[in-house]
Amino acid sequence: MLTDTERTWLRLHLTRGLGRTGLVRLMDAFGSPAAILAAAPGDWVRRAGIRDSVAQSLPASNDPTLLKAKEILNKHSVQILTLWDTDRYPPLLRTLYDPPAILYLRGTLVAQPALAVVGARRASTAGRRLTRDLCQEIASRGVTIVSGLARGIDTAAHEGALAGGGQTIAVLGCGIDRIYPPENKSLSQRILEQGAILSEYPPGTPPLPGHFPGRNRIISGLSQGVLIVEAAEGSGSLITADFALEQGREVFAVPGPVYAETSGGVNRLLKDGAHLVTDETDILEVLWPGIPTKQQQKMENSLQSELAGDALALYRCLSIEPLHIDELARKSGLTPMEVSAILLHLELQGGVEQLPGMRYVRCRRA
């Protein structure tokens, strides 16, 4: 069920003509959604610069549209996240020039690295297969796959993430209650079991063409990098790449056959300096070098469960980057002799490897 604060935000969001900028101005002026709601329309105008016609459009508490929206959100167990939610709002998205003021969320967001994957709706069989394989492997490393639930490459990206046992996020260009395209309804249910569906549009909003560029900025904004698989010149996927560059994200592209219609966009990206991708290592080595597989993480967790006291404290100081024994002593607060004895024990357990120069790293075993 929606909280009182969420219901207040919904009412504000359904005010005709009140967009993101208006909500930010109101919060700057009044400090809380409850204070905004309690203020008179004239105060909206004087203190926040809101047009009078907009201030007068705040829906009444018994407005049929508002009541229907509440019913929809409660039915689908939707949460409302706002830019002012310090704990729940995705931190990477907050760094954008124009982050969404309000997000509607179904499912669960997990704080972990993320890769956006988009591409042609009329994708080739090979393009869909490659996308599934890449996303399956990357998701198995604990990286969230973000896409737009569209036909073609987007669908393959979500399917690959699910097959890899990882999290995937679908960002919609319509209301959170509208699955588009409709044939992906069953896929959306699977996504909710292992991830989340997000939208910045109020419930009931149709999938209009003008909504998708805004959706694309969220897809890239949630991620450290964007992978483009099959995109013609002028396609929406290239808009996502443009947003990624503006946001300081890394851009990756899979090269395509020169004469294929869906190759023009990706091949141009590669000419302009995008990272060329033929397998998952081309992405992982740029964004997350040394990131372990889920099996490796499981092994590390198993080893940590067997450790205690000084041994556990020292193991947590280790990483995939080589550290000298003196640095480990400094970080752990142990004496060099204690560190040496513990490291020997960890080597015998297969948890640490000694490199030349008295440097040590955590073992990465498949």
- Residue spans in the chain of domains classed CATH 1.10.150: 1-72
Q: What is the 3-state secondary structure (H, E, C) of 54-101?
A: HHCCCCCCCCHHHHHHHHHHHHCCCEEEECCCCCCCCHHHHCCCCCCC
Q: In angstroms, rounded to a whole number, what is the distance separating the alpha carbons of residues 127 and 229?
A: 7
Q: What is the pLDDT of residues 164-203, one digit of tens each?
A: 999 999 999 999 999 999 999 999 999 999 999 999 999 9
CATH class of segment(s) 294-362 = mainly alpha
Separation CA 237–CA 227 (nearest Å): 9
Assess whether pLDDT exceeds 80 at residue 350.
Answer: no
**DSSP code per residue over 260-319:** -GGGHHHHHHHHTTPEE-SSTHHHHHHHSTTPPPHHHHHHHHHHHHH--HHHHHHHHH--
Compute the distance between CA of residue 6 and CA of residue 187 in angstroms, rounded to an integer: 27
Long-range contact list for 39-48, CB < 8 A, 24+ apart? 48/22
132-to-118, 152, 154, 295 alpha-carbon distances in Å? 12, 11, 10, 20
For 1-72, give the CATH class. mainly alpha
Q: Which CATH class is domain 107-287?
A: alpha beta
Residues of the chain with CATH 3.40.50.450: 107-287
- The pLDDT tens digits of the residues spanning 196-212 come to 999 999 999 999 988 98
Residue that is written with structure tokens 């023009």 in the block: 264
Residues of the chain with CATH 1.10.10.10: 294-362
User: What is the share, in percent, of the chain residues with pLDDT greater than 70?
Assistant: 94
How much is the pLDDT for 366?
40
